[in-house]
Amino acid sequence: MSPIRDRLRIAVQKSGRLADASLDLLRRAGLAFRASRDRLFLYGENLPVDVLLVRDDDIPGLLVEGSCELGIVGRNVLEEARLEVGDDFAREQFALGFGACRLALAVPQDEPIDAPEQLVGLRIATSYPAQLGAWLAAHGIEARIVQLSGSVEIAPRLGKADAICDLVQTGSTLVANRLREIGTVMHSEAVLAIAPHVPAAVMPLAERLMARISGTLQGADARLVMMRAPRAALDAIRRVLPASDPPSVLGLDGEPDTVAMQALCSVAPDWPQLEELRRLGARSVMVLNVERMLG
């Protein structure tokens, strides 16, 4: 175990599809950093929170060994490491809404295979043997797993495998290698993970940062809807608004039949909803972006 520190550490991918979005999320959560000379360590300037810039595959191990307390990592990477290590492992706190992809099964386009059940007895190349093995066992499919560290998509052309199990985003790489999907093993995206053992000295800071990140994510889709409305139409207006907390209603001086109303909605009202609000008598309807939320 690493010595107890008074500064929180969070590991993120140093390069790749999650890198820029991870750092942008931390900045939107209010963190400011100064980079080290080698640009592998970001020193927190306004909070005692430092960022380790590492390989995506190294993040689960760093969490387990205590080198960092939080990590932003692909769910596929976290789950593969968990299956290899066991239960006393880093756990997912919540999804972050970017880096969406899927771990998919694919075969050469000219092969007469249309479903995963037809892979019985065949070879499947993958960089995720633990997840593939667990999925095959759960579905009663007996196939041989060929573990590769890279270039999985060309394994069938090299004669190393009959099918592959690899990460897919748009599917363009599969098409370029004359492959087609026949099934999905798991859906993945970037997640915030926490170490199995967080020192008491930094746990309050970890909870504070997690609350900030959660609030930033909630604010991304939330909208504040403000309007003037007839008091008699309040119940009907509440039913039209997207899922929201109970709205705030204020009386207006000199206008006993009209109120000022504001509601925090989980998503923006669409145009038909706005038109219905106007039909119900709402006026001066404004839909405002919410930069961040803290419950």
258-270 confidence digits (pLDDT tens): 999 999 998 889 9
129 falls within a domain: yes
For residue 121, pLDDT over 80 is answered with yes
Residue 3's pLDDT is 55
Per-residue pLDDT tens digits for 178-197: 999 999 999 999 999 999 99
- The residue among 178, 199, 219 that closes a domain is 219
Do 147 and 166 share a domain, yes or no? yes
For residue 275, pLDDT over 90 is answered with yes
Mean pLDDT over residues 70-98, rounded? 92
Do 131 and 236 share a domain, yes or no? no
127 falls within a domain: yes
Per-residue pLDDT tens digits for 215-236: 888 887 889 999 999 999 999 9
Residue 86's pLDDT is 76
Residue 295's pLDDT is 65
Per-residue pLDDT tens digits for 20-66: 999 999 999 999 999 988 888 999 999 999 999 999 999 999 999 99
Do 111 and 87 share a domain, yes or no? no
108 falls within a domain: yes
Q: Please state, in angstroms and rounded to a whole number, the distance separating the CA atoms of residues 68 and 60.
A: 10
Q: What is the mean pLDDT of the chain?
A: 93
CA distances in angstroms from 291 to 45, 60, 200, listed in the order given: 22, 30, 31
Q: Please state, in angstroms and rounded to a whole number, the distance separating the CA atoms of residues 66 and 221.
A: 34
Q: Total structural domains in the chain?
A: 3
For residue 89, pLDDT over 50 is answered with yes
- The residue among 201, 219, 237 that closes a domain is 219
Q: Which domain holds residue 22?
A: 8-98+190-219
Mean pLDDT over residues 88-103, rounded? 93
Residue 1's pLDDT is 46
For residue 88, pLDDT over 80 is answered with no
Do 12 and 67 share a domain, yes or no? yes
- In this structure, the number of other CB atoms found within 10 A of the CB of residue 109 comes to 11
Do 28 and 169 share a domain, yes or no? no
Could you tell me if 78 and 128 are in contact, meaning their C-beta atoms sit under 8 angstroms apart? no
295 falls within a domain: no
Do 86 and 116 share a domain, yes or no? no
Mean pLDDT over residues 245-269, rounded? 91
Residue 268's pLDDT is 87
Extract the tokens encoding 177. Answer: 């290698």
